[in-house]
Structure 1
Amino acid sequence: PPTCPPQAASWFVYTHEQMTQHHLGPHFNGLLAAWIRIEAASRFEHSSGAITKKMRPEQVNRWIQCGRGQRGNPDTSVPNPAQYKRQWWAWWNSLQPAWRGKDADGDWSVAGAYGKEWDGLLFWGQNGILSVVAALYFWGCAVQEDEECLRAWERAVNDVSWICEGLALFHESFKKKGF
């Protein structure tokens, strides 16, 4: 997994340790690398808003209610990966920016140029894209032994990775401008 930057805030260090506790493979490591870029470009600060919790998987809600694992040991297990997959996609679909299109198979396109408006995804820090990364981590921990479920999870990870790469570029462009 990608290493934690030495200048990271304590909340990030703790969360990075959680998200790298189980090795979930190169797809997830790519997502973690993009998430690190977003947070580093945002100076490990928090945005004033948050990614919507409407339709968010219950495991993420419990994790957040326990201080993202810092106040207790919330149950983040995924006993029914098929149900979790449906809930996760409903939440993820609701977060997509207006400019994002779908490919011929009906999946979100992971090619082409990124749009300029990020709508409900332009949140960083503890209440930002981390919630999506954590949701994928919990799901990934549950599907490593099931090839079909693993492929569905990797598809989701690749989709979020593409968005996070775009968000990282967006955040880094502001950092270069001195904001």
Structure 2
Amino acid sequence: MPKCHSSSESRQEDEKQRNRAQKAIINLKKEVEELRKTSRDHENAAKKAEEDSVKKQQELDQALEEIMNWVPKAIINAHRKQDTYYRLLRKANLQIMKYQKQLNIPESTFWIDEADLITEQPQEEEVKDISLILAQELRKVKKAVETMTIQAARVKLHQETPIQGRASKDSCVVDVAEKIPSLKEGCETNPLCLTASPLEHPLLYPPDARDIEWFKPAFRFLNVDLSGPYTTLLSHWIELKRLNKWQNSGCLSNVNWPQELTTWIQYSRYDRKHIIICPGDIKQFSDTVWTWWSSLQPMWQKTGTDGRPLPVMICKDDWEPLDQCGTNGWLSILACIHWWGESLKTVKDEAEKQKKMGDWLLLIKDVSEMLEGLIRYKQKLI
């Protein structure tokens, strides 16, 4: 009997162990199922997060592309409008000087002081946004144009009041205000705009330079179709050469100038060495050209917070740094602009191309203004 009792207890113990084992297995299965469910939830969440991330990245890329396409165009348009005001101001300046000479009016009567046109430049910490800089410059120009209009009215009033030693109003020239185009005119109708009515390309070789040997290859090298403003700049350069009687003398400073110019000159320019600016080198080359151009400015030309020359307001008579003729003069500046313009044709990304072209056009605009000022100075000396 004791042995039978022991066997019964053993079976009961085994049964209990089996029950515990089955419960443990069931619990483990439940835990495994819960872990699998949790894992699936995590995978679904990760997949959804990845999809959301891709979608957000696409939206961000699209927004950046829109911004990159808009900003250069906005800057170019703002500078074109600003350019119109500056050119109107310069033309009005010439008219005022003309009437001052004709009417023998004291300079203090209607001449614009330099302080009225150029105020202190903002400190770098005050203005860092290009749009703010453009807005400030535009306000200055508007104020200057308003001042010129008032001064023109004074001239008219002075004409209508005969004084001893001057002609009557019937013999005077028409009022200055009638000669100034409306500020509402766009580039299509305003001949003072840099981009208005671009010259035909290619330019014809100037007949009075047919015997100038150094000028022939220079003209052939520069006379390419890059843009209307570039062609206009080239025509101004030809006019300066004509005023200098096609001389080949003088030299611009080579401090900070691009290494490409050194190579080009060492290989006798033109056909022996063809300079090519690769797309990846455009930024460095353009920065170097801007730095060199800024270093060539006369003492009276002011610079902005970015180190670049400000738009020309009033030209003085000290042109020594830029009044250089021949192959070592303005030809070097135009050669850099030529290489830069040619390199833009190789840029495939349209947004990047627009941005780089905007900077290129700004340089052409600034160089053109200074070149026009030098031409007027040379004309006064004739």
| TM-score normalised by length of structure 1 | 0.87
Q: Distance in 1 between matches of 2:307 and 2:287?
A: 15
Q: Which runs of 4+ in 1 moved over 4 A?
A: 103-107
Question: What amino acid does structure 2 have at the position aligned with 1:77?
Answer: I
User: Is 1:134–2:335 an aligned residue pair?
Assistant: yes
Higher helix share: 2
Could you tell me which of 17, 22, 26 is aligned with 2:228?
A: 26
Q: Distance in 2 between matches of 1:31 and 1:102?
A: 22
Q: Report deviation, 1:130.
A: 1.1
Q: CA separation of 1:57/1:107 partners in 2, compared to 1, >3 Å: closer, same or farther? A: closer
Question: What amino acid does structure 2 have at the position aligned with 1:63?
Answer: W
Alignment correspondent of 2:380: 173
Q: CA separation of 1:171/1:53 partners in 2, compared to 1, >3 Å: closer, same or farther? A: same
Deviations 1:26-45 (A, max 9, x none): 11111101100110111111
How well do the aligned residues superpose, as a CA RMSD in angstroms?
1.8
The answer to whether the 8 A contact 2:301-2:312 is kept is no
Q: Structure 2 regions of 5+ residues with no counterpart?
A: 1-200, 348-352
Q: Distance in 2 between matches of 1:155 and 1:15?
A: 23
Alignment correspondent of 2:8: none
Question: What amino acid does structure 1 have at the position aligned with 2:369?
Answer: W
Q: Distance in 1 between matches of 2:379 and 2:219?
A: 20
Q: Distance in 2 between matches of 1:161 and 1:99?
A: 17
Alignment correspondent of 2:275: 76
Q: Percent identity?
A: 26
Alignment correspondent of 2:217: 14
Q: Report deviation, 1:14.
A: 1.3
Q: Distance in 2 between matches of 1:33 and 1:112?
A: 22
| TM-score normalised by length of structure 2 | 0.42
The answer to whether the 8 A contact 2:291-2:308 is kept is no
Question: What amino acid does structure 2 have at the position aligned with 1:99?
Answer: W
The answer to whether the 8 A contact 1:50-1:123 is kept is yes
Q: Structure 1 regions of 5+ residues with no counterpart?
A: none
Pairing of 1:1-179 with structure 2 (within 5 A):
1=201, 2-8=203-209, 9-20=212-223, 22-47=224-249, 49-69=250-270, 72=272, 74-79=273-278, 80-102=281-303, 107-144=308-345, 145=347, 146-174=353-381, 176=382
Q: Distance in 1 between matches of 2:267 and 2:379?
A: 31
Q: Distance in 1 between matches of 2:291 and 2:218?
A: 25
SS state of the match for residue 24, structure 1?
coil
Deviations 1:72-115 (A, max 9, x none): 1x141112110001111111111011101246887523332211
The answer to whether the 8 A contact 2:264-2:275 is kept is yes
Q: How many residues align?
A: 171
The answer to whether the 8 A contact 2:252-2:322 is kept is yes
